[in-house]
Amino acid sequence: MWNTVIVYLISTVIALVIYSRWSRRKILAAVANMNGPPLLPLIGNSYILLKFTTTEAIYHHLKNFGNYYRSPVCIHIGPALHIFLYSPEELQVMLNSPYCLSKSRHYRFLRVDRGIFASPAHIWRGQRKSLRVSLGPAIANASADVFNDKSAILANRLELLADGKERDYYHDIAKCTLDVIYYTALGLDFDMQRTQTGDYYLGLQDEFVDIITRRMFSPTLYPEFIYRWTKSYKREQEILRSARQLTYKIMQERNVEEKLKSVEVQENPQEPEVINTKPLNFLDSLLQLSRERQQLTKEDIAQHLDTILFAGSDTTATTMASILLMLAMHPEVQEKVYQEVMETCPDKDQSVSLDDIAKLTYTELVCKETMRLFPVAPIVARVSTHDIKLNDRNTIPANSVIIGAIYQVQRDPTIWGPNAHLFDPDNFLPEKAAKRHPYAYIPFSAGPRNCLGIRYAWVFMKIMIVHIIRRYQLKTSLTMDSINIKYSVLLKMLNGCLISIEKRD
């Protein structure tokens, strides 16, 4: 009897293997020229994920594929095809293709799949033009006073910690960025830096991101009906309910529901209610979009707000923490930044103007080099809706997940030289930058679906640097070799922003 069972099982497996290869024959033929690790029947390369116990180990292994295989690299996670790209030329094709505008399924795990960050291409197209202005240069320039006020609060609060002892300053920076986002994007001042609300919200955010990251690296949890049975799902939903209370508080204070209801009864919703020459903030732009197109529900608004609070605050805070750590780690660079700041706006209580920002040219080089080594979004993942021709040799099949390896490209020694792993702001001197492929450095992504808030981030970061560096000297015991990174939706340092600060004379 057992012999019969064994023969039956073996025959079933063989039949499944044959059917799997036959049903995917066109896909396998299309990627035959691509490199990648050996395939196992049925599971493909899923074994790669099974032999590691932490998300950090999985990420470090995946990001090094570009060192082992020539790009593009083909990975099969079960039947799902993943194409990793490790060259600027391939990234340019991917990010500019009209057939590669939709984000991969992994972004849905964030539960904001109708927000501007993760929405499908057909939704995103209708929203981007209307929302671009709310995060563009005009709103960034108009927000300089807010950037100064909130950065000054941070600088004053740091004085209580200026004792020369090392600690992680990430949450202090993150509360400042939250303060700014609430004020500039939503028109509200919750004073996150001086109340417990900021710490509470950031705690929820950190835990939520950890849960989502674990799911991203666990393909068995991709199916929603399986994931719903886990403890992680239950905790995720608890966190979302708690965070959403703050979102609904925002909507209540801005009378969002009443404004949405008023849209429904307008006889001519195509005409805006008020003609305003000032740039609308993010929330007001959402309401105007709803007036013009009647396509946003209360849940849509909530998801957009959740998106901007996370994407706008956490990305900027993470980048700022990395910049301050690089300044602390490289005292000669910090001194040059300090001298430039003191020549531009030396009074520690002086606001930083837009003209001042334009003069901080070396400071900008430092910011760019930090984002080269530590891009807050180390990968970008899209789904191809049609076949995409990468070059004369390779074509990506439709319905593939395409992963652009920004982190690896920005550290590629063939592009950046043998010391690509070292911190050197001179990498961005104009004469050097002009010789590189434009897609060798894309920390804000690129193409039609790039980051909307590039100018916003630049103005805010430079102003915050001025307020901190002209009052404090930064130090750290960390070295470049001792930095440990992790991927948790965003690229972060396991060490944190571990620095000490001392008051300058």
Measured between alpha carbons, how far is 482 from 75 in angstroms, rounded to an integer? 30
Q: Where are the alpha helices (DSSP H) in 1-143?
A: 2-23, 25-30, 47-50, 55-63, 65-68, 88-96, 121-132, 137-142
What is the model's pLDDT at position 189? Answer: 87
Q: Specify the pLDDT at position 2.
A: 62
pLDDT tens per residue across span 132-164 = 777 778 888 888 999 999 999 999 999 999 998
Mean pLDDT of all residues in 406-427: 95
Task: Show Cβ contacts of residue 299 under 8 Å, excluding neighbours closer than 6 positions.
Answer: 114
- Cβ atoms of residues 403 and 379 within 8 Å: yes
Spatial CB neighbours of 89, under 8 Å, sequence gap ≥ 6: 391, 437, 439
Mean pLDDT within 82-98: 95
The whole-angstrom separation of Cα 95 and Cα 350 is 41
Among the listed residues 342, 279, 293, 328, the one whose alpha carbon sits nearest the alpha carbon of residue 471 = 342
454-469 vs 331-344: helix crossing angle, rounded to 10: 100
Predicted pLDDT at 493: 87
The CA-CA-CA angle for residues 236, 240, 245, to 5°, reads 155
For the residues 259-264, what does the mean pLDDT come to?
66
Complete domains list, the chain, with CATH:
45-503 (1.10.630.10)
Mean pLDDT of all residues in 353-360: 94
The residues that bridge with 102 in the sheet, in sequence order, are 383
| 202 touches 174 (CB < 8 A) | yes
Give 172-224 pLDDT, tens digit per residue. Answer: 999 999 999 989 888 888 888 988 888 888 888 889 989 998 888 888 888 99
Q: Which helix (H) or strand (E) holds 433?
A: helix 430-433
